[in-house]
Amino acid sequence: MTFYRWIIKKYAGKHCPMGDLADDLVWDDTFPKENTRKAIRAYLEAEGACQDCEDVFELAWVEYAKENKLVKESTIERRLVAKTRNHGGLAAKFVSPGLDGVPDRIILLPGGHMAFVELKAPGKKLRPVQGRRREQLEGLGFRVFVVDSVERIELVLNEIGGDAR
């Protein structure tokens, strides 16, 4: 869920500073569609928002980030590598020059368990070429997982290799 949708759903019509911000955004057709703190902050500054408004946005962003578990793809990837190691396996980086859209990692777990993992930031979707590559790999009989949260890592590892440790 984008910040815009989140703050309107949670705070529009409420009598508090975040409610005031949400009410203002309901009528703002130019609010950025890019869902990053940096883009929204730049927009507020460019529009000449007062310091109180910017402060309320910062508080709202922190709450939004916590509720939506916003983390970077690289953070998820580091945790996948560490958790795979904890399962006694390897999370090898998969790079294949000339073959676009391949998943980010090959997971190798004890007992010969193997699967591909594509990592995404929360809420991000596969690019079309990644979707086609996933279908191709699955058509060949390989399992391909998309991991877009830290919480999903353990579920995927258990599905790949049972409770191999």
- Asked if 40 and 3 touch (Cβ cutoff 8 Å), the reply is yes
pLDDT (average), residues 78-103: 93
Distance CA 119, CA 99 (A): 17
pLDDT at 163: 58
Q: Which amino acid is at 155?
A: L
Do 83 and 153 contact (CB within 8 A), yes or no?
yes
Look at the alpha carbons of 40, 45, 46, 50 in this order and tell me if their dihedral is positive or negative: positive
Give dist(CA 145, CA 101) in Å, integer.
14
> What integer is the mean pLDDT of 135-156?
93
CB 40 within 8 A of CB 32: yes
Predicted confidence (pLDDT) per residue in 29-69, tens digit: 999 877 788 889 999 999 999 988 998 998 898 788 878 77
pTM of model > 0.85: no
Q: What is the full DSSP assignment across the chain?
A: --HHHHHHHHHTT-SSHHHHHHHHHHT-TTS--S--HHHHHHHHHHTT--HHHHHHHHHHHHHHHHHTT---HHHHHHHHHHHHHHTT-EEEE---TT-TT--SEEEEETTTEEEEEEE--TT----HHHHHHHHHHHHTT--EEEE-SHHHHHHHHHHHHTT--
Lookup: tokens for 114? 């193997």
Query: What domains are there in the chain, each with its CATH number?
Result: 3-67 (1.10.150.260), 73-161 (3.40.1350.10)
